[in-house]
């Protein structure tokens, strides 16, 4: 995570956005009125999907149960139908 103030963020906007998109860096921008966080669209979409899946009790239980299955008992990824 990179921390910066709003003035520095404004001066180097392109570089900070580039870091978020290309490197997956999280940019924390400090202002007098509070802080803002800048992340890539890909990271944002991943967080939203995780929240959505976590909100479904059935899916949440399946994931939880799956964590206790040894890897040698798992179906190979090449055989999984998405």
Could you tell me the pLDDT band of residue 43, with boundaries at 50, 70 and 90?
A: very high
* Domain covering 2-38, topology: YefM-like fold (3.40.1620)
Q: Report DSSP state, residue 51.
A: H
Domain ranges of the chain: 2-38, 42-69
- In b/e form, how buried is each residue of 26-42, taking b as 16+ CB within 10 angstroms? ebebeeeeeeeebbbee
Look up the pTM and report it. 0.74
CA distances from 31 to 25, 40, 48, 53 (A): 19, 20, 25, 33
23-32, 46-55, 58-67, 73-82: lowest mean pLDDT where?
A: 73-82
Of the two residues 79 and 19, the one the predictor is more confident about is 19
**Residue 80: predicted pLDDT:** 86
Could you tell me the pLDDT band of residue 42, with boundaries at 50, 70 and 90?
A: very high
């Amino acid at each position: 995570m990179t921390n910066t103030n709003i003035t520095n963020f404004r001066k180097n906007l392109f570089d900070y956005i580039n870091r978020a998109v290309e490197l997956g860096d999280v940019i924390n921008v400090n202002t007098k009125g509070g802080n803002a966080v800048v992340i890539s669209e890909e990271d944002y979409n991943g967080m939203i999907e995780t929240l959505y899946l976590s909100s479904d009790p059935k899916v949440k239980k399946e994931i939880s149960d799956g964590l206790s299955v040894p890897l040698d008992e798992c179906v190979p990824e090449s055989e999984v139908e998405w």
